[in-house]
Amino acid sequence: MTKHSLYGKTETTVLFSFQEALAVSLLPAFMGGTVTEYKQQSACLCLAQAKHSEGKHFSSLLNSTPLTSAGKMAKRVAVILSGCGVYDGTEVHEASAVMVHLSRAGAKVQMFAPDVEMMHVVNHCEGKPVTDKRNVLQESARIARGDVTDLAKLDVTAFDALIIPGGFGVAKNLSDWASKGKDFSIKPEVEKVIKAFHQAKKPMGMCCISPVLAAKAIPGCELTVGHDSECEKWPYAQVAKAMAELGCKHLNKNVGEVHIDSKNKLVTTSAFMCNAPIHEIFDGLGVMIKEVLKLA
DSSP one-letter string for 222-239: EE-SS-SS-SSS-TTTHH
CA dist 279 and 238 (Å) reads 24
Q: Report the C-alpha dihedral over residues 274, 279, 280, 282, rounded to 10 degrees.
A: 90
Longest dimension (CA), the chain: 68
CA dist 43 and 166 (Å) reads 35
Are 147 and 36 in contact by the 8 Å Cβ rule? The answer is: no
Q: Is 208 a known active-site residue? A: yes
Name beta bridge partners: 204: 162, 266
- Which residue in the list 46, 84, 207, 208 is annotated as catalytic? 208
Q: Report the C-alpha dihedral over residues 52, 53, 57, 61, rounded to 10 degrees.
A: -40
Burial status of residue 134 (CB atoms within 10 A of its CB: 0-12, 13-18, 19 or more) = middle
> In the sheet that 204-207 helps form, which strands lie side by side, from edge to edge?
148-150, 108-113, 76-80, 161-164, 204-207, 266-269, 259-261
Q: For residue 58, give the 3-state DSSP assignment.
A: helix
CA dist 103 and 286 (Å) reads 11
Catalytic site positions: 208
